[in-house]
Amino acid sequence: MNAPAYAHPQATHTVPLGGARVAYLLVRSRRRSIGLEVGASGLTIRAPLRVSVAQIESALQEKAQWVLDKLAASALRVQQTPQVDWGQGAQLPYLGGLLTLQLHPAAPRGCELLAVGEGRWVLHVPLPVDALPASVRGQVHAWWLRHARLLLTQRLQRFAPDLGVQWRSLRLTNARTRWGSAKHDGGIMLNWRLLHFRLPVLDYVVVHELSHLRVMDHSPRFWAVVASVCPDYTRLRAELRQQPIPEWDL
């Protein structure tokens, strides 16, 4: 039997780990400690500038079983990721409910969203029912990005005063391993896929990134800032990590 292998698509280093081969992405920064992150793309290690690769991989060996368990769980989630059939009646998770696509040429240009029940929406897409999947995806994706920018802007405006911070700009991202980031200058990046989650989960990510405008690390002080506005962040963070979301690629 072949040993299991896990490879980050942007891997910079490879190491044998507990009977497996793990290709990981190493990111250097001005941080104080080595951090391990396992996401859908694989293992990312964030390390201080002056720490050697040998020291990094020694620390990795100490966490070998934890890393392998996380990688196996992540690989299983990827296998279970729902695929979207981009056509009439396709469904997408949306704000904790379901959004169904209805295709008809007379729909308003740019699509129209209608609430049809508790946790249920219909998105009217101006295309014929036999439209090509790429056309359907393109129309829905354009609408989704516009709606994501509007909703995420509203949530940033909602929580920034509670945290006593000012954000300057919002950029939408499609990163596979990060839901958001913040810069010292007030720039915020948020993943447009957050609209697949319940609003409280989305709000946790917004609060998380806004909190970085006060504390740029993940120290206890940072988590205290998050908890001041989002006291159940631990549960919401777990939900963010565990819920599979659909693959948009054709």
- pLDDT tens readout for residues 37-80: 988 789 999 999 999 999 999 999 999 999 999 998 877 766 66
Say which CATH architecture domain 91-242 belongs to: 2-Layer Sandwich (3.30)
For the chain, the residue count is: 250
pLDDT tens string 214-224: 999 899 999 99
**pLDDT of 204:** 97
Residue 6, phi-psi category: left (phi > 0), alpha (psi -120 to 50), beta (remainder): beta
**pLDDT of 177:** 65
**pLDDT of 18:** 86
Q: Average per-residue pLDDT in the chain?
A: 91
Confidence of residue 84 (pLDDT cuts 50, 70, 90): confident
Write down the domain spans for the chain. Answer: 5-79, 91-242
pLDDT tens string 157-169: 999 999 999 999 9
Determine which of 35-44, 133-142, 183-192 has the lowest per-residue pLDDT on average: 35-44
As a whole number of angstroms, the distance between CA 137 and CA 193 comes to 14
Whether 1 shows a pLDDT value over 50: the answer reads no
**Cα→Cα distances 32→48, 51, 204, Å:** 6, 10, 26
What percent of the chain has a predicted confidence (pLDDT) above 90? 78
